[in-house]
Amino acid sequence: MPVSVADLSVPAAELVIVGHYDKGPGYATRRASGSASWLLMFTQDGAGLVEQGGTVLTAGPGDLVVLAARTAHHYRTAGARWRFWWVHFQPRPAWAAWLRPFGPAPGCHLVPGCPPLEPAFRRAHAYARWNGRGSPPAPADPVRPAVATAGRAGELVLGAVEEVLLLATAPRQTPGAGMDERVERVLELISAEPAAPHTVASLAGAVALSPSRLAHLFAERTGRTPMRAVRAARLAHAARLLEVTDLDVGQVGAASGFVSAFHFSRTFAKEYGLPPREYRRRLG
């Protein structure tokens, strides 16, 4: 299957690139050493055959494929057409946990049957075209590959990619699973405002349950207590702030709902294996 010179190019590790392809038979990309960046592909129509490090995946409509960097890969149209969004990027550390359940092999992830994600990709493409001044441009048609050249533009693109991954990997209700709508509402409240002064009583009041009934129902349906879910959301929020802001550790802790910098640092280190300052330093 022919491979163009452009297909053989390997984006630089620091680049954030967003594009959309509508390819027919014969399209293929092969990178013997992989790419210096991660690659995300979301299929809208048709199908693609993706190989990463010996693992072969078929991506159909609604499927999201995420490939880690520096591993040989090869992808091509499977059939008559493959229409898909793609992004080259460097992942934020918190994303690994979201993708882990969808990895048939290390560095190779397939998330099937995703919800509609095109709006997030269109935002990512608009952000990639932003020059860092004024407001980002409107979504464009046709969609041509766009490289985020402004630092803030790159961060906005990563925010859109984060939205894609959160929506794609969020737990889905399956027939018979019976996730209670009140538990779902509590999860939404925690996710929307992790730093809010949540208590079991305040969350129970928001869904017209007694604290004891919510605690029992929440644990039954999620496998953890409401306050453990709050703590996990606060830590994830803190990790993102450490990754993308220059707030000091005390400010990050306060912005994430922790009552003291000491408590924040101790809790963060227990969860992530590193204190907040070291976590940020390693990112740098």
Question: 32-76 pLDDT, tens per residue?
Answer: 988 999 999 999 999 999 999 889 999 999 999 999 999 999 999
- CA 33, 60, 94: angle at the middle one, nearest 5? 60
Residue 202 CB: number of other CB atoms within 10 A?
Answer: 13
- 279 vs 180, 239, 252, 273, CA distance in Å? 36, 8, 13, 9
What would the pLDDT profile of 230-264 be if each residue is shown by its tens digit?
998 898 888 888 887 889 999 999 999 999 999 99
Is residue 104 very low, low, confident or very high in pLDDT (cuts 50, 70, 90)?
confident
**What are the backbone angles phi and psi of residue 87, rounded to the nearest 5°?**
-140, 130
Residue 83 has pLDDT above 50, yes or no: yes
Assigned architecture for domain 5-169? Sandwich (2.60)
- Is residue 258 within 8 Å of 230, Cβ to Cβ? no
Residue of 203 and 222 predicted with greater confidence: 203
Q: For tokens 């889905």, name the residue.
A: 172
What is the rounded distance in angstroms from the CA atom of residue 89 to the CA atom of residue 114? 20
Helices (H), 179-260: 181-192, 200-206, 211-222, 226-244, 249-255
Residue 178 has pLDDT above 60, yes or no: no
What is the rounded distance in angstroms from the CA atom of residue 99 to the CA atom of residue 95? 6
* Strand-strand pairing, 17-23 and 146-147: antiparallel
The pLDDT score that the predictor gives to residue 235 is 87
Burial status of residue 51 (CB atoms within 10 A of its CB: 0-12, 13-18, 19 or more): middle
Beta bridge partner(s), residue 170 = none
Residue of 172 and 188 predicted with greater confidence: 188
pTM attached to this predicted model: 0.63
Section 191-207 average pLDDT: 93
Distance, C-alpha 56 to centroid of its chain:
22
Structure tokens at 230: 């709050």
- CA 271, 272, 278: angle at the middle one, nearest 5? 135
The pLDDT score that the predictor gives to residue 84 is 97
CATH topology of domain 181-283: Arc Repressor Mutant, subunit A (1.10.10)
Residue of 241 and 1 predicted with greater confidence: 241
- Is residue 207 within 8 Å of 214, Cβ to Cβ? yes
Q: Domain map of the chain by residue range?
A: 5-169, 181-283
Structure tokens at 174: 């399956």
Is residue 270 very low, low, confident or very high in pLDDT (cuts 50, 70, 90)?
confident
Beta bridge partner(s), residue 114 = none
Q: Which of 45, 99, 44 is nearest to 67 (CA)?
A: 99
